[in-house]
Amino acid sequence: MTDAIDAQAAFTGTALPEGADRLDEARLTPWFEANVAGFQGPLSVSKFKGGQSNPTYKIDAPSGPYVLRRKPLGKLLPSAHAVDREFRVQSALVGTGFPVAPQYGLCTDDSVAGAMFYVMGCVDGRTIWDGAMPGASADERRATYEAMVDTLARLHSVDVEAVGLSEFGKPGNYFGRQVDRWTKQYRLSETERMEPMERLIAWLPQTLPVQDRVSVVHGDYRIDNMIFAHGMPEPLAVLDWELSTLGDPLADFTYFAMAWSTENGGRSGVSDLDRKALGIPELDEMVERYCQATGRDSIPDMNWFLAYNYFRLAGIIQGIKKRYLDGTASSAHAKTMSERVGPLADMAWEYAVKAGA
């Protein structure tokens, strides 16, 4: 879909923040002293290279490394960049033993860092940017993919009420609300007319699947939004909860399943890889494992879900494209990302046709 990039090199590590991305260390320090348990200064700030949406910083201090995620500056789409929701869902999950980073505090006072932010612990592990997992053995790849499915099944088994998240989203008609939401977000950031998007906006609401379960939904569950233990296929933390809500767990599973229909290009896709040689499980094995862990007989025809997920992703990337054109995108990779909207819309419509459109 895009030219292959060495994502591992491009997205790993930190750089010094520039311009509007700079944070005022003198303002941050008192907030850390008041809100972050055990904090000892002085602190220094660098910015992670990876990630598109919410600027993410590494805060180094004698008391240890921390991660700060902030809303971008400038005019934002309604309900986007919800760092407060990220903080809330991760704080609720910490006590369940589900792999998330420790959460320290949320700051809603824009004067401290220019916009709302939260602070969490910096988990010592590795991020796998490339779904092909270069350098890993076949056994390591298989174990990693199986761990990803098992972790997703664990998320979908969390008792929403018991962890205090029953008000985290509306329980019913998840896909209807999501199609409506991403249609609105797409319209707000539209830069040109795209026929496949127009057809999808008409077709998706007419063909919604029946929802029979409610769970916490991550919203962007893929290999590079996780931190794994060094040298082991053990997930230590699931990251990037910006799109999380209560909803249909099949939304998460089928989004994860997109990797098997997306070319690799140095990112999470595995469709064009020799999966057997690499030890990457086939999608039907992942379906079976997920169903077993969540007590399902099967997953319904996946073509509708893939059409929906590619449509939603096209809407998300269109937002990045608009921010790139407006000059407010957070990442140096935003231009490359913004060129993906058309191909994603085409892919969505292809799956819609397979689903009977």
Confidence of residue 331 (pLDDT cuts 50, 70, 90): low
122 and 67 Cβ atoms separated by less than 8 Å: yes
CATH 3.30.200.20 in the chain, residues?
Answer: 7-121
Residue 10 has pLDDT above 70, yes or no: no
> What is the percentage of the chain residues whose pLDDT exceeds 70?
91
Residue 128 has pLDDT above 80, yes or no: yes
What angle do helix axes 174-189 and 302-326 make, rounded to 10 degrees? 30
pLDDT of residue 329: 63
Mean confidence (pLDDT) of the chain: 91
**Window from 34-38, 55-59, 316-320 with minimum mean pLDDT:** 316-320
Confidence of residue 227 (pLDDT cuts 50, 70, 90): very high
Give me the mean pLDDT over the 132-155 stretch. Answer: 98
Residue 323 has pLDDT above 90, yes or no: no
Give the pLDDT confidence of 173-206 residue by residue, as tens digits. Answer: 999 999 999 999 999 998 889 999 999 999 999 9
* Residue of 142, 204, 208 whose CA lies nearest to 173: 208
Residue with tokens 């990037």: 240
Residue 318 has pLDDT above 60, yes or no: yes
**Window from 35-44, 52-61, 96-105, 339-348 with minimum mean pLDDT:** 52-61
Residue 209 has pLDDT above 90, yes or no: yes
CATH no. of 138-354: 3.90.1200.10
Four-CA torsion 122, 115, 338, 88, nearest 10 degrees: 50
Q: CB-based contacts of 173: which residues, under 8 Å, 6+ apart?
A: 208, 211
Q: What is the pTM of this model?
A: 0.88
Fold of 7-121: Phosphorylase Kinase; domain 1 (3.30.200)
pLDDT of residue 49: 75
pLDDT of residue 352: 98
- Distance between CA atoms of residues 145 and 140, nearest Å: 9
Confidence of residue 17 (pLDDT cuts 50, 70, 90): confident
pLDDT of residue 249: 97
158 and 35 Cβ atoms separated by less than 8 Å: no
Give the pLDDT confidence of 243-289 residue by residue, as tens digits. Answer: 899 999 999 999 999 999 999 989 999 999 999 999 999 999 999 99
pLDDT of residue 93: 98
Residue 346 has pLDDT above 90, yes or no: yes
**H-helix or E-strand containing 107?**
strand 103-107
Confidence of residue 1 (pLDDT cuts 50, 70, 90): very low
pLDDT of residue 244: 94
- Distance between CA atoms of residues 135 and 305, nearest Å: 32
CATH 3.90.1200.10 in the chain, residues?
Answer: 138-354
pLDDT of residue 76: 60
